[in-house]
Amino acid sequence: MRITLAQIEAFHSVARLGTVHEASRQLNLAQPTVSLRLRDLEQALGLQLFERKGRGLQLTQEGREMVEHAQAILGEIGKLKGRVDHQEIGGLVRLGVSESFAVSGLPALLKLASQEYPALRVELVIGPSPDLVADLADHRLDLAIAINPADDPRLQIVPFGVQPATWVAAPALNLPALVRPADLLHHTVLVSPSPSPNWRQTMSWFGAAGLEPLHLSKCHTVPSVIAHLVEAGLGVAILPSRLIEASVRMGTLIALESRPQIEKSFLCAVRRADDRDLGLDALIAVTRRVLADLDLLETN
């Protein structure tokens, strides 16, 4: 039995997405067709490439080795076709973004992506960066725009730049324009729970002075909700600068300078290291353009 390019494409999609269901959606094929191509490929090779894991499929050792061959074959096909036209980049990308980027840059990203790559479909998840990176590693997402992702040999991290952050408070608190840890020690500090980047920023800022906040409220919610709580005078918090710009202009929040400086947060694209899907390259490039156009990040 001969091996076909259609079988290689089906194998690569299932290996990347983890299920026949998701692969069939990306390839715009019926699930039985994708399953048949996988079966025929395994028979032609005389190898078992997948094994069942819950509702999904997990690569066997032979399957993991086959991924490298499949990527090389598909890469060579791409070279033969020449420069890939934007119209040819399509399929499904499951994209996860941090809430702060969702507020500041996501509408522009989705608009530009639909204009540049009309055949590309994006399914969106918005959530905390650690959750997005975990979902990516577990094949529940294909690409994440996240803050301070932890090093993981399974993942490729593409840094974009520094996401500015600031201490914010309600005007009624009458805090000084420049605050130090001692100035906020007796105020309620609203913070996302560990291991979030916000937790690290907050605790390291107080820790630089050898202090810990006396009144700490852990908020299992998104930064925009924390901003509303700060506006209501329930506490102070470190929040992304772009997230609270409108509230600062309206005067419902005060952005405070701080000493020491707040630890930097790096916005990055994160993908699985073995995933060479062109749709991911396209979305990363579009994200970089949006960040530059909107001037959302610092460059150092």
Task: Kindly list the averaged pLDDT for each block of 10 residues, start to end, along the chain of length 300.
Answer: 85 84 80 89 90 83 85 69 59 90 91 91 92 92 94 91 94 96 97 90 96 94 91 96 91 96 93 86 93 80
Q: Are 109 and 287 in contact (CB under 8 A)?
A: yes
Q: Is residue 64 in a domain? A: yes
**Residues 104, 135 within the same domain:** yes
Q: What is the pLDDT of residue 26?
A: 72
Give the integer Cα–Cα distance in Å for 18 and 14: 5
**Residues 140, 282 within the same domain:** yes
Q: Where are the beta strands (DSSP E) in 3-98?
A: 50-53, 56-59, 91-97
Q: Is residue 118 in a domain? A: yes
β-sheet bridge partners, residue 246: none
Whole-Å CA distances, 237 to 3, 54, 82? 58, 41, 51
For residue 181, the number of C-alpha atoms closer than 13 Å in the C-beta half-sphere is 17
- Give the chain's domain count: 3
**Residues 184, 256 within the same domain:** yes
**Residues 150, 285 within the same domain:** yes
Q: Is residue 20 in a domain? A: yes
**Residues 135, 157 within the same domain:** yes
**Residues 175, 239 within the same domain:** yes
Q: Is residue 16 in a domain? A: yes
Q: Is residue 300 in a domain? A: no
**Residues 246, 126 within the same domain:** no
**Residues 16, 34 within the same domain:** yes
Q: Is residue 156 in a domain? A: yes
The domain in which residue 49 lies consists of: 5-80
Q: Is residue 155 in a domain? A: yes
**Residues 99, 241 within the same domain:** no
**Residues 184, 150 within the same domain:** no
Whole-Å CA distances, 111 to 121, 122, 146, 281? 12, 11, 20, 17
Does the model's pTM come out above 0.75? no
